[in-house]
Amino acid sequence: MPSAPVHNAAALVDTPKGQSGRPSKALTADQAAAVLKAARDSRLGAYVVLCLLTGVRTEEARALRWDHVDLNGESIAVWRSVRHGGDTKTAKSRRTLGLPQAVVEALREHRVRQDEERLAAGELWKQEDLVFATTVGTQLDAANVRRSFGSICRAAGIGEGWAPRELRTSFVSLLSASGVPVEEIARLVGHSSSRTTEVIYRKELRPVLVKGAEVMDQLFG
C-alpha cells in the first residue's frame, strides 16, 4: 500500500522575497542580558543597547543625529537612515519612540565619551551631529558596527556568528514572548504590515501558538 504523500507546510506560506543568506536568529532573554552587560565596556555599547531595547534598524541607528534625541523627554525621532537619499525604509518607518531608562543612561554616558573624543580630535573632527560616529565624527560603516558587535558577543559568551540586524529580531521576539500583540510590535519597529513582523521577524511564537491548545483543552480536556 503506497504511503501517504508528505506535504511541506512551508510551501503554503507566501513569504516576501529577499536576498538569500543565513536566516536571522534571536537572542534569548538570558543572552540579551549578557549582551547588555558586556556592552557597558564597549565604545559602541550604547548603539547595541539602543538597537536591542528599541528595535531600531542598524541603518537607522547609524544615521541618528543628536537633534533627533530628547534625553530629557526620553524619546528619539527615527526619521533618517543610511539608505540612498537618507530616508527610512518605508513611510511607516518614520516614528518617534519612547526610550527605556537603560537606553537613556547609555546615551548620556555615550555623549560624554563622544565629547572627549571631539576634544581629542581637534581640527580633525567632522561636525555631522551623529550620535554614533567614528573617533573623528564621521559616519560609521557597517564593518565598524559588525566588529564592535562581534567583540561584545564574545565578551558576553554567546558565541560567534551574530549579526547586528539580529538585535532587531531579538527585540521583536522578546516582546512577543512577553505577550505583546503583534500589531503593537509592528508599530514599534516601523513595519508597514504586521504580516512582516509575523512571518519574518518574530522568532519566539509560543505566546500565540499555544493559545489554540489551551482553548481546545478547555473545551475537550
47 falls within a domain? yes
Among candidate residues 109, 90, 93, the one with its CA nearest the CA of residue 50: 109
User: What's the pLDDT at 198?
Assistant: 57
Identify whether 168 is a catalytic site residue: yes
User: What's the pLDDT at 82?
Assistant: 61
52 falls within a domain? yes
Q: Among 65, 83, 89, 195, which one carries the catalytic annotation? A: 89
Reading the block at residue 93, the C-alpha cell is 518607518
Across 50-77, average pLDDT? 91
Identify whether 47 is a catalytic site residue: no
User: What's the pLDDT at 165?
Assistant: 92
Bridge partner list, 69: 76
Q: How many residues does the chain have?
A: 221
180 falls within a domain? no
User: What's the pLDDT at 221?
Assistant: 52
Q: Among 47, 80, 201, 203, which one carries the catalytic annotation? A: 201
Site of grid cell 565598524: 144
User: What's the pLDDT at 123?
Assistant: 95
DSSP letter assigned to residue 70: E
Confidence (pTM): 0.76
- Look at residue 4 and tell me whether its pLDDT is greater than 60: no
Q: Among 110, 191, 202, 203, which one carries the catalytic annotation? A: 191
DSSP secondary structure string for all residues of 75-127 = EEEE---SSTTS--SSGGG-EEEE--HHHHHHHHHHHHHHHHHHHHHGGG---
Q: Considering its fold, how many domains does the chain have in total?
A: 1
Label residue 183 by pLDDT band (50, 70, 90).
confident
Which residue segment(s) compose the domain that 33 sits in?
Answer: 24-162
Label residue 97 by pLDDT band (50, 70, 90).
confident
Identify whether 201 is a catalytic site residue: yes
122 falls within a domain? yes
Average pLDDT, the chain: 79
Among candidate residues 194, 186, 188, 164, the one with its CA nearest the CA of residue 24: 164
178 falls within a domain? no
What is the β-pairing status of strands 75-78 and 69-70? antiparallel
81 falls within a domain? yes
Q: Among 62, 110, 168, 203, which one carries the catalytic annotation? A: 168
Reading the block at residue 46, the C-alpha cell is 550604547
Cβ neighbours of residue 54 under 8 Å, at least 6 residues apart?
76, 97, 99, 100, 103, 171, 188
Q: Among 57, 62, 80, 110, which one carries the catalytic annotation? A: 57
Q: For the domain that residue 88 is a member of, what is the CATH number?
A: 1.10.443.10
Give me the sign of the Cα torsion angle 138, 139, 140, 141. negative
**pLDDT tens digits along 128-156:** 999 999 999 999 999 989 999 999 999 99
